[in-house]
Amino acid sequence: MLDEADQRGINITNLALQKLLYFAHGMYLTQTKKPLVSGYFEAWQYGPVHPSAYRAFKSSGSAPITTRAEGKDPLTGRPRPVRTVEDYEVIDLIRHVLRSYGKMSAGRLVDLSHAKDSPWAYIVDKSRTSIALGLQIPDNVIMDRFRYHKVSVGIEPNAGEPSDDTPFA
């Protein structure tokens, strides 16, 4: 996603990346019934966050991401580049997400991820009445509730323009 964004001249912060990755994952999941990314998303203050991806780019802070994530060789523990996507269906989806949402501000992406009845809102609401360890957003909840995302049209994003995300306390 970062390479595609670079080709389009789109600067992406870690906060924006989390939302764009989530939207791509949700679209892919609802279309194919298979997850786009391994791991999971959690409901954080400013919307869905993939904790591993967040940690990979945390050092960028609120600045645009200029580095790429690295994996670790399980045998040696040495860093290794993360394999790039070669599936054209996935590349087309990433391009679609960037065309549709890539130039939105972080605040707009947060508003979109906070839509009423969306997966994020459902998990946050559920956590108020029951135990929700880690506020994980399961893929089945994303599949069931992804359709509730709508683009906000107000002058200013409801969340303002946050520069970084944090888990709920």
What's the rounded Cα separation, in Å, for the pair 123 and 136? Answer: 8
Closest to 142 in 3D by CA, of 30, 39, 38, 2? 30
Q: What percent of the chain has pLDDT over 70?
A: 87
Report, as an integer, the average pLDDT of 140-169. Answer: 72
| pTM of the full structure | 0.86
pLDDT digits (tens, 9 = 90+) for 66-94: 999 888 888 888 888 888 888 999 999 99
Record the tokens describing residue 151, joined without a space. 């683009």
What is the per-residue pLDDT for 85?
86
Q: Which tops the pLDDT comparison, 129 or 157?
A: 129
Closest to 1 in 3D by CA, of 128, 75, 102, 146? 102
Is the pLDDT confidence value at 161 over 60? yes
What is the per-residue pLDDT for 109?
93
Q: Flag the least confident range among 15-19, 123-127, 138-142, 149-153.
A: 149-153
* DSSP-based three-state secondary structure for 70: strand
Residues in the chain: 169
